[in-house]
């Protein structure tokens, strides 16, 4: 965060006059006043470097600093308080944010932090990828995983497992549950199996549904980016398909198109993280819907039952159930994270070990 503060302070001092800098800070915190915080008399101009340093010191959260930069981007080229805003040194700061895993999405004009990443240490690296797209010997595969992990103890916390599939069925579902139980047992956390497995399963179901809806909509030659009554009709047809045939036909469509998704279950000394990665284009409308839903940050049962709402990106009872489970662990601020890349979407959660007692909490 120190590096971000230093670079942003310089960016502010090079790009904004004191009135512009103060105005943008007020958009984040209406109580902010540059003269008051910096100690300068209202009749005196605050030097540019002082303005930059004052603002980055005032905002204690990294998210607020990123929001300030977003506001600068949004107003670049705008005439404001006597001059047109022109951001100088922007490329260096953008590269720094990328290094810190802040990913900018052009559609929603927003930076989203990617908390999901792989590290070089991985005690399961020899397994690489568990490909469930085709039928395998599930019992033999789980035994092979146990063999690879038999010498892992509670102190060896750096590992990750990636599972690739088109969709869930009874056998794949049972395999994943056994896998989660084994991985948690190596750290004396077996009591959390049900909660972790449920969250992982709901993420997988949501990822599969997103893929199926994309293929189904494409089969009707309909533009997913449209947000009109016609799209609502498509969703109703999609819902009818699931009601009449389950996901059997949709999984076959995914298989024929080789449209899979990945589940990553990762451990490190501080936390567990689970995320799914879809490899389909997602429209601006769907991104906005998903961000709005996840920003609710609470279990919204009434909204989850809105007609057809469970067919939208990131909607329905699945993600709400994950929020409810994470809430029982004390994870209430941004319990589910989403990151958009040009060719992929990641969605998942991070659960800190300090929030995992010996006995799993019960969700209300």
Position of tokens 């007692």? 357
User: Of 103-112, 131-140, 228-237, 297-306, which one has max mean pLDDT?
Assistant: 131-140
Which residues contact residue 165 at a Cβ distance below 8 angstroms, ignoring those fewer than 6 apart?
A: 132, 133, 172, 204, 260, 261, 263
223: closest CA among 159, 281, 162?
A: 281
Q: How far apart are CA 242 and CA 231, in angstroms?
A: 17
Domain ranges of the chain: 2-100, 125-355
pLDDT 10s digits, 163-205: 999 999 999 999 999 999 998 888 888 899 999 999 999 999 9
Query: Domain 125-355 adopts which CATH fold?
Result: Heat Shock Protein 90 (3.30.565)
279-308 pLDDT per residue, tens:
998 888 788 888 887 875 444 444 443 434
Q: Among residues 261, 275, 287, which one has the least CA distance to residue 199?
A: 275
**Chain segment 205-236, per-residue pLDDT in tens:** 999 998 998 888 888 887 666 666 677 788 88
Q: pTM for this structure? A: 0.73
Query: What is the total residue count of the chain?
Result: 364
């Amino acid at each position: 965060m120190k590096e971000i503060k230093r670079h942003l302070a310089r960016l502010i001092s090079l790009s904004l006059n004191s009135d512009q800098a103060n105005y943008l800070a007020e958009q984040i915190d209406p109580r902010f006043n540059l003269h008051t915080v910096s100690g300068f008399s209202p009749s005196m101009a605050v030097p540019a470097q002082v303005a930059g340093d004052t603002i980055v010191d005032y905002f204690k959260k990294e998210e607020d600093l990123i929001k300030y930069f977003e506001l600068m981007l949004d107003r670049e080229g705008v005439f404001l308080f006597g001059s047109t805003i022109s951001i100088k040194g922007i490329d260096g700061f953008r590269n720094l944010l990328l290094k810190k895993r802040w990913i900018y999405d052009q559609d929603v004009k927003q930076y989203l932090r990617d908390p999901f990443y792989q590290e070089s240490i991985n005690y399961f690296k020899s397994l690489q990828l568990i490909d469930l797209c085709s039928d395998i010997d599930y019992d033999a595969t789980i035994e092979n995983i146990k063999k690879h992990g038999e010498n892992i103890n509670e102190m060896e916390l750096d590992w990750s497992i990636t599972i690739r599939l088109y969709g869930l069925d009874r056998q794949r579902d049972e395999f994943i549950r056994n896998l989660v139980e084994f991985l948690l047992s190596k750290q004396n956390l077996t009591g959390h199996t049900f909660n972790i497995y449920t969250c992982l399963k709901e993420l997988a179901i949501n990822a599969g549904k997103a893929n199926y809806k994309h293929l189904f909509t494409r089969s009707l030659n309909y533009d997913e980016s449209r947000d009109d009554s016609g799209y609502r009709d498509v969703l109703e047809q999609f819902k009818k398909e699931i009601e009449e045939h389950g996901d059997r036909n949709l999984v076959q469509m995914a298989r024929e198109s080789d449209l899979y998704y990945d589940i990553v279950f990762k451990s490190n000394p501080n936390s567990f993280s689970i995320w799914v990665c879809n490899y389909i284009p997602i429209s601006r409308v769907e991104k906005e819907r998903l961000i709005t839903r996840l920003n609710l940050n609470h279990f919204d049962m009434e909204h989850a039952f809105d007609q057809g709402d469970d067919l939208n990106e990131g909607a329905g009872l699945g993600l709400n159930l994950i929020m409810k489970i994470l809430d029982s662990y004390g994870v209430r601020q941004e319990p589910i994270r989403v990151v958009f890349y040009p060719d992929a979407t990641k969605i998942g959660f991070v659960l800190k070990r300090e929030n995992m007692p010996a006995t799993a909490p019960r969700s209300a």
